[in-house]
Amino acid sequence: MTMGKNIIKDIENLTEEELLKVRIRDLPVKIEGAWIEECVKKLYEELEARAINFKPVCYLADEWLTPDKEPVIGIPFFLAHPALMKLEKQMMLDVEGATKQWCMKLLRHEAGHALNYAYDLYKKKSWQRLFGRFNQEYPDTYRFRPYSRNFVRHLEDYYAQYHPDEDFSETFAVWLTTDIDWQAQYKGWPALKKIKFVDELMRGIREKEPVNKKGKKYWQASRLTTTLRNYYKRKRHVYAEDFLDFHDMNLKRIFMKKNQECKPENFAFQLISRYRKNLIASISIWTGEKKYIVDGVLKALIKRSKALNLIYDSEPLAVLEVSAYVTTLMMNYMYTGRLRGEK
Would you list the DSSP string of 24-76?
Answer: GGGS---STTSTHHHHHHHHHHHHHHTT-----EEEEESSSB--TT--EEEEE
Is 265 found in the same domain as 183? no
Is 251 found in the same domain as 225? no
User: Of 204, 237, 270, which residue sits at a domain end?
Assistant: 237
Phi, psi dihedrals of residue 99, rounded to the nearest 5°: -110, 160
Is 286 found in the same domain as 302? yes
> How many domains does the chain divide into?
2
Whether 60 contacts 218, CB under 8 Å: no
Is 152 found in the same domain as 71? yes
User: Of 237, 253, 273, which residue sits at a domain end?
Assistant: 237
Is 294 found in the same domain as 153? no
Whether residue 139 lies inside any domain: the answer is yes
Amino acid 194 reads K
Is 198 found in the same domain as 58? yes
Whether 60 contacts 222, CB under 8 Å: yes
Is 271 found in the same domain as 218? no
Residue 45 makes CB contacts below 8 A (sequence gap 6+) with none
Q: Which pairs count as long-range contacts for 122-128, CB under 8 Å and 24+ apart, including other chains?
A: 122/164, 122/165, 122/168, 126/197, 127/168, 127/201, 128/164
Whether residue 251 lies inside any domain: the answer is yes
Q: What is the distance between the alpha carbons of residues 179 and 273, in angstroms, rounded to a whole number? A: 41
Is 246 found in the same domain as 229? no
Whether 247 contacts 269, CB under 8 Å: no
Whether 221 contacts 62, CB under 8 Å: yes
Ordered per-residue pLDDT tens for the chain, 343 residues: 344 567 778 899 999 999 999 999 999 999 999 999 999 999 999 999 999 999 999 999 999 999 999 999 999 999 999 999 999 988 876 899 999 999 999 999 999 999 999 999 999 999 999 999 999 987 766 667 778 999 999 998 788 998 999 999 999 999 999 999 999 999 999 999 999 999 999 999 999 999 998 999 999 999 999 999 999 988 876 655 555 567 888 999 999 887 655 555 689 999 999 999 999 999 988 887 777 678 888 988 999 899 888 999 899 999 999 999 999 888 877 666 666 655 4
Which structural domain range is residue 259 located in? 242-336
Q: What is the distance between the alpha carbons of residues 5 and 278, in angstroms, rounded to a whole number? A: 59
DSSP 78: G
Whether residue 2 lies inside any domain: the answer is no
Is 136 found in the same domain as 22? yes
Whether residue 272 lies inside any domain: the answer is yes
Whether residue 343 lies inside any domain: the answer is no
Is 20 found in the same domain as 146? yes
User: Of 210, 237, 264, which residue sits at a domain end?
Assistant: 237
> Which residue, 220, 194, 179, 192, is CA-closest to 75?
220
Number of H helices, E strands in the chain: 13, 4
Is 46 found in the same domain as 195? yes
